[in-house]
Amino acid sequence: MTGYTLVDIIKDYQAGADKAVTIFKEKFGVGDILQGRRQKNYPRVGKLIENGIYRYAFHGSGLEVHFKDKVIDFDFAFFPEPRHDGFDLWRLTLFINNQRNKYPEYLDNDKLKAEFNELINNGTIGKPTLDHSTHMYFFTDTI
């Protein structure tokens, strides 16, 4: 037992997404990294080894980033400002499976799904009501 809760895992996931966004903003001097990508300030797929990113790939409205110790795949949601702290069960499953030794008890998909649903039911996480729908969940105290 590692002592991690699903909330801890979500916060770790969000911290990784935040780290990736911060690296792109600082390295390329952009305020919105999707806009920077559209303006071709950087390739769709690449590496920023000197910044700790061993591989990255933009996709749709998201980004997959490979750090030394974890892989983060996240999408942007618009509130209307872009946010990268959203998550869903599929992305958390990928995140956990890429850190099998760190989160071994959450490799049990039934446990993961049950705890995710518990967070929804107790109001800890939810989907925002936006003009443009999103499939992502957020901590309810941030929406």
* pLDDT tens digits, 32-60: 999 999 999 999 999 999 999 999 999 98
Summarize pLDDT for 90-128 with one digit per residue, the tens.
Answer: 999 999 999 999 999 999 999 999 999 999 999 999 998
**The pTM is what?**
0.94
Q: Rounded distance, CA 134 to CA 127, Å?
A: 7
Domain boundaries, the chain: 6-142
- What pLDDT score was predicted for residue 129? 82
